[in-house]
A and B are shown apart, each in its own frame.
Chain A
Amino acid sequence: MNSIVSRAKELLENKSVQVIVGFEAGPTGKARPAFVTYPSKTDILIFDERCVQNLAVYLTKKEVKQFGKIGIVATLPIMRSIMMLISEQQVFAENIEILGVSTEGKYLDIADIQVMQGYIEKCDLSNPSNDQETLAMLNKMSMQEKFDYWQNELSTCIKCYACRQACPMCYCTRCAVECNQPQWIPVQANTHGNMEWHILRAMHLAGRCISCGECGRACPVNIPCHLLTMQLADQAHKYFNVYAGTSEKMSSVLSTYEPNDKESFIL
């Protein structure tokens, strides 16, 4: 991706940004995040099918923010995350530059947030097709079967909170699970407490999940926890006709009320 490299070089050279967040090839051949601060180092930047991580998670980290203005290599899920972070006042549009990558893997020239919004609006925002299939299968199950499925999956959770760390929308400096007055969620990993944690995480992301699937990829014990938040993303679209991360002014579905909101799910 020469255009990413040249654009990154240009941005760093004319001091439009102080750091570029992108991908580089790691020693084992996997892609890993790169933080480039010198124009001369931009050659390490790559983009190919290995580059799936949601880099937006770094935008709220103080170690990255301290550099100043950030340029970020952004695929569709990353763009949607940036939108969410702007709408939730965690990132300010004037502090970032977007080095866009289209869903086909092509470099996209994105001048500002409005252009980015225009691009997002043109894309298919539903969940990835393989996840849609699994969700369809799960949704066919009875209540009991579903419960058993998740109880079984979540019993192996070791509460490492990798899912939380990988998610750009989990930017709280103190997570609810770290709150011990009172201790709503138990510290130790046990099936019951694990379920409480995952329900809490899913609810905190209801209507905010942008379907990148990063949490599921991050899980060291392969729990498909991304399906929980993706299911809620589906529901948010079904009931309120919104996809998260499509506008910088959007307020969370769960925190707003419109007179024509459907209420069919309220008993």
Chain B
Amino acid sequence: MARIGVFVCHCGENISATVDCGKVAETVGKLKHVAFSTDYKYMCSDPGQTLIKDAIKEHKLTGIVVSACSPRMHEPTFRKAAAEAGLNPFLCEMANLREHCSWVHEKNEMTTDKAIDLVRILIEKVKINSALQPIRVPVTKTALVVGGGIAGIQSALDIANTGHKVILVERSPSIGGHMSQLSETFPTLDCSQCILTPRMVEVAQHPNITLYTYAEVESLDGFIGNFTVKIRKKAKSIYEKDCTGCGLCTTKCPQKKIPNEFEEGLGFRPAIYVPFPQAVPNKPVIDREHCTYYLKGKCKVCEIVCPTKAIRFDQPDEVIEVKIGAIVIATGFDIKRSNFFPEYGFGKYKDVIDGLQFERLASASGPTSGAILRPSDGQVPKNIVFVACAGSRDPAKGIAYCSKICCMYTAKHAMLYKHKVHEGKAHVFYMDIRSAGKNYDEFVRRAIEEDYVNYIRGRVSTIYERDGKLIVKGVDTLLGAQPVEIVADMVVLATAGVANPGAEELAQKLHVSYDSHKFFAEAHPKLKPVETNTAGIFLAGACQNPKDIPDSVSQASGAAVKVAALFSQSELTREPLVAYVNRTSPPMYSTCVGCFLCQSVCPYQAIEHEDFKTRDGKIIKTVAKINEGLCQGCGTCVALCRSKSIDLHGYSNNQVYTEVVALLNDY
């Protein structure tokens, strides 16, 4: 016979100020099967928990109802206390007298009556609860890192250094991401390549890291600890083992005028190319879209000149399948290009460039070998205007957020310009200077005070060309919105940071959520910034929102620790509150008729097929089966299944029905 214990918590005054806790305990104490009932100031405190444990033992309780706060807060606490007293943790239920009652009602008799009802229904439920055992699932200790920018590199290295295998998948021909394009980096002005390339090399050499460049994730199945990923390795058209990276082919390719992505269109590259000199791996790929052979059917110059005969024109894409246990998404970001701005000429003026183009101009390895020259005529600009918040913080353009990095890199750009063109004048139009961060504001102050950059607080309304000069019209809001007109030689737009193209598609493939701007969404904005809503998948770097290198690297290491923590266990345990499809005796096997409508409704792809076969292997019946590793216990399938063949452990049809009936019945 059931012997239920009820423990009513005052939560200090949080509950007892409006609910008569003593009366609740006394009333429910008289109900059938309630063997013990009491109230106490803080049930979650040590003495509170001891009170519960002692009562379980002393009164031989078969189930308890802790009537306190939200189970989201303290369910683990009380379930653990129950377990310590020898009671199966799933025989402990929590009635939420705080969020569901005391906090939302005034002090009166009805409030106390409602509290009694809330406890009553759970007394009835816990009577029919069954003892549940945690689910154990194995863990494949290999991680997948998607995206080889600085964030992906850092995560891969950190995970690999804990002794676990890592597969790093990068879409472009080399790892490095945007950081490899930068000249110097704020706030220290150290050379970006110099600090990045050692890490890139380390990735290439690390025994625990398998690097797939020119590759993309094709699909993902499975669940935390047990994913199966398909990776498409796009055909590079070279046999990498034979290629020595001599680069002869790239000098002989007749296609010489393909806009160079790495140089942000400020330079050209051949059809067989290595994106930049320090690329990892340093072996070329053939860009089939521009290669004469693929376009016209003849050429093969590279094949002729290659000393090791490494060119493979007929190489197909290869799709490989690997088992992994965790994923770090580090696919980074992109920026809006100048053609996004009608007011600044839609990208029509050659000397209106974006921030990444400026980085390439300022970079010693860039198209001008580090000289700041106008793209139009190669002249040194004497007057340069930087426009911060180009697109960012502009709801009218659909980008209400702050891109976070532009204030800092604009100050950097202005400084770099002044360091290279001493007599030149640099102006910055800004909305606010956002330079929170270690040594960040000092950096901006240096630009203003030591390099005499002219900061003007106001927006630029239009830019147009006159006599080979760019006329920049704006206002100075600190001078009472006085109109300002600057005749500039060059304009640099600090354009908004946006999600990478393909981010949405990737999110859908990986079944993780993303926000309205297509940035990957974290599980909790404050307490779970590294996790996604899908267990076992983590975020690093600018794929979550635009962020700078230190932030990207910190998050990358954070994600690596999450993966390492996961891999430190050989088995995962999960709450057994999952759905199950019933089983009956043959020839029915289950009341499930195999319509599989539940399969399409399950948000977690947790529903699989199970065949019942005769001894000679003939299928008698196919029914649904829940994968316990994937099921999140949302109950959607339970609601959908017409034959009521699915039920949920811990929240069964019967338990819910019992609660409803208890509420309708008098006591």
Chain A residues within CB distance 8 Å of chain B: 88-90, 171-176, 179, 181-182, 184, 204, 251-252, 254-256
Contacts of A204 in B (CB 8 A): 642
CB distance from A219 to the nearest CB of B (A): 20
Type the 1/0 row for B120-160, where 1 means its CB is closer than 8 Å to any CB of A: 00000000000000000000000000000000000000000
A175, A179, A184, A251: the one contacting B600 at CB < 8 Å is A251
User: Which residues does chain A contribute within 8 Å of B658, judged by CB atoms?
Assistant: 182
By the criterion CB–CB under 8 Å, are A179 and B644 in contact?
A: yes
* B596 & A89 in contact (Cβ 8 Å cutoff): yes
CB distance from B618 to the nearest CB of A (A): 14
Tell me which of B595, B601, B640 contacts A89 (CB under 8 A).
B595
Beyond A89-B622, A181-B653: 16 further Cβ-contacts under 8 Å? A89-B594, A90-B595, A172-B642, A173-B588, A173-B593, A173-B643, A176-B643, A182-B653, A184-B653, A184-B657, A204-B642, A251-B597, A252-B600, A254-B640, A255-B598, A256-B601
The answer to whether the Cβ of B219 comes within 8 Å of any Cβ in the partner chain is no
| A interface footprint on B629-658 (CB within 8 Å = 1, 0 otherwise) | 000000000001011110000000110011
* CB-defined contacts of B645 to chain A, threshold 8 Å: 174
Measured between alpha carbons, how far is A252 from B600 in the docked complex, in Å? 9
Residues of A within 8 A of B594 (CB): 89-90
Which chain B residues numbered 418 to 444 have a C-beta less than 8 Å away from chain A?
A: none
> Any chain A CB within 8 A of the CB of B591?
yes
Whether A256 and B596, one on each chain, are in contact in the complex, defined by CB atoms closer than 8 angstroms, is no
Residue of A nearest to B584 (CB): A174
Report whether A172 and B643 are in contact in the complex, using a CB–CB cutoff of 8 Å: yes
Closest chain-A Cβ to B256's Cβ sits at a distance in Å of: 44
* 29 A-B residue pairs with CB within 8 Å: A88-B596, A88-B597, A89-B594, A89-B595, A89-B596, A89-B622, A90-B593, A90-B594, A90-B595, A172-B591, A172-B593, A173-B591, A174-B591, A174-B643, A174-B644, A175-B643, A176-B642, A179-B653, A181-B653, A181-B654, A182-B653, A182-B654, A182-B658, A184-B653, A204-B642, A254-B640, A255-B600, A255-B601, A255-B640
B residues in contact with A179, CB < 8 Å = 644, 653
Contacts of A176 in B (CB 8 A): 642-644
Q: In the assembled complex, how far is the CB of residue B594 from the closest CB belonging to chain A, in whole angstroms?
A: 6
Chain B residues whose CB sits within 8 angstroms of the CB of A89 once the complex forms: 594-596, 622
Which residue on A lies nearest to B597, using beta carbons? A255
**Cα distance A179–B591 in the bound complex, in angstroms:** 10
- The count of A-to-B residue pairs whose CB atoms sit within 8 angstroms is 50
Complex CA–CA separation, A175 to B642 (angstroms): 7
A124 to chain B, nearest CB (A): 27
**Which residues of the other chain, B, contact A175 by a CB distance below 8 angstroms?**
643
Which chain B residue shows the least CB distance to A85? B595
Contact A256 B600 (CB under 8 A): yes
Q: Which of B593, B600, B642, B654 has the most CB of A within 10 A?
A: B642
User: Across the interface, do B597 and A252 meet the contact criterion of CB distance under 8 Å?
Assistant: yes
Which B residue's beta carbon lies closest to that of A184? B657
Complex Cα distance, B598 from A256, in Å, reads 10
CB distance from B38 to the nearest CB of A (A): 32
Minimum CB distance partner of A170 in chain B: B642
**CA gap between A15 and B645 in the complex, in Å:** 37
Q: How far is the CA of A184 from the CA of B654 in the complex (A)?
A: 9
- Complex contact B600–A171 (CB within 8 A): no
Give the residues in chain B near A181, CB-CB below 8 Å: 653-654
**A173 surroundings in chain B (CB, below 8 A):** 588, 591, 593, 643
Chain A residues positioned under 8 Å from B654 (CB to CB): 181-182
Instruction: For the complex of A and B, list the 6 residue pairs with the smallest distance between their C-beta atoms, beginning with the closest.
Output: A182-B657, A172-B643, A174-B591, A255-B601, A88-B595, A255-B597
Bound Cα distance A252, B601 (Å) = 9
Question: Which chain A residues lie closer than 8 Å to B644 at the CB level?
Answer: 174, 176, 179
Nearest CB on B from A218, distance (A): 19
Contact string against A for B residues 580-606, beta-carbon threshold 8 Å, 1 for contact and 0 otherwise = 000000001001011111101100000
Q: How far is the CA of A184 from the CA of B642 in the complex (A)?
A: 13
Closest chain B CB from A186 CB (angstroms): 13
State in angstroms the CA–CA spacing of A191 and B594 once bound together: 33
- Point out the residues of chain A lying under 8 angstroms from B597, CB to CB: 88, 251-252, 255
Q: Which among A179, A184, A254, A255 has the greatest number of chain B C-beta atoms within 10 A?
A: A255
CB-based contact B601/A171 at 8 Å: no
In Å, the complex CA distance between A176 and B593 comes to 12
Looking at A88, A173, A176, A252, which has the most chain B CB atoms within 10 Å of its CB? Answer: A173
| B595 contacts across to A, CB distance below 8 A | 88-90
- B590 vs chain A, min Cβ distance (A): 9
Distance of A7 Cα from B593 Cα, bound (Å): 32
- Which chain A residue lies CB-closest to B643? A172
A89–B596 Cα distance when bound, in Å, is 8
When distances are taken between beta carbons in the complex, the residues of chain A under 8 Å from B653 are 179, 181-182, 184
* Bound Cα distance from A90 to B640, whole angstroms: 17
Residues of A near B600 (CB, < 8 A) are 251-252, 255-256
A251 / chain B contacts, CB cutoff of 8 Å: 597, 600
CB-CB contacts below 8 Å: B565-621 with A: 588, 591, 593-598, 600-601
Q: Which residues of B sit under 8 angstroms from A171, Cβ to Cβ?
A: 593
Across the interface, which residues of B come within 8 angstroms of A88, CB to CB? 595-597
How far does the alpha carbon of A175 sit from the alpha carbon of B645 in the complex, in Å?
Answer: 10
Q: How far is the CA of A90 from the CA of B594 in the complex (A)?
A: 7
Determine the distance from Cα of A252 to Cα of B596 in the docked complex, in whole angstroms. 10
- Residue of chain A at shortest CB distance from B602: A255
Q: How far is the CA of A88 from the CA of B622 in the complex (A)?
A: 12
Q: Bound state CA distance, A89 and B657, in angstroms?
A: 31
Mask of B356-395 contacts with A, CB within 8 angstroms, 1/0: 0000000000000000000000000000000000000000
CA of A182 to CA of B124, assembled, Å:
14
CA distance A93 to B332 in the complex (A): 47
- Chain A residues closer than 8 Å to B657, beta-carbon distance: 182, 184
A82 to chain B, nearest CB (A): 15
A87 to chain B, nearest CB (A): 9
CB distance from A95 to the nearest CB of B (A): 13
For B594, B595, B596, the residue with the greatest tally of chain A CB atoms inside 10 Å of its CB is B595
Looking across the interface, which residue of chain B has its beta carbon closest to that of A200? B642
Q: How far is the CA of A7 from the CA of B622 in the complex (A)?
A: 33
Contacts of A172 in B (CB 8 A): 591, 593, 642-643
Q: Which residues of A contact B598 (CB under 8 A)?
A: 255
Best-surrounded residue of A88, A89, A184 (most CB of chain B within 10 A): A89
* A113 CB, nearest partner CB in chain B, Å: 18
Which of A171, A182, A256: most chain B CB closer than 10 A?
A: A182
Report the separation of the CA atoms of residues A251 and B653 in the bound assembly, to the nearest whole angstrom. 25
Q: Would you list which residues of chain B between 40 and 64 have a CB under 8 Å from chain A?
A: none
Chain A proximity of B231: nearest CB distance (Å): 27
Question: Which of B593, B596, B653: most chain A Cβ within 10 A?
Answer: B593
**How far is B593's CA from A172's CA once the two chains are assembled, in angstroms?**
6
Contact with A along B392-415 (1 / 0, CB 8 A): 000000000000000000000000
Contacts of B591 on A, CB cut-off 8 Å?
Answer: 172-174
Complexed CA–CA distance, A30 and B318 (Å): 64
Chain B residues lying within 8 Å of A255, measured Cβ to Cβ, are: 597-598, 600-601, 640
Q: Report the separation of the CA atoms of residues A175 and B593 in the bound assembly, to the nearest whole angstrom.
A: 10
Using CB atoms, name the residue of chain A closest to B593. Answer: A172
Chain A residue at smallest Cβ distance from B637: A255
The distance in angstroms between the C-alpha atoms of A90 and B657, with both chains bound, is 31
Q: How far is the CB of B177 from chain A (nearest CB, A)?
A: 30
**Could you tell me which residues of chain B, from 473 to 515, have a CB within 8 Å of some CB in chain A?**
none
Chain A: CB-nearest residue to B598 = A255
| Interfacial chain A residues near B596, Cβ < 8 Å | 88-89
Most chain B Cβ neighbours within 10 Å, of A172, A181, A184:
A172
Q: How far is the CA of A16 from the CA of B558 in the complex (A)?
A: 64
Report Cα–Cα, A256/B591, bound state, in Å.
Answer: 23
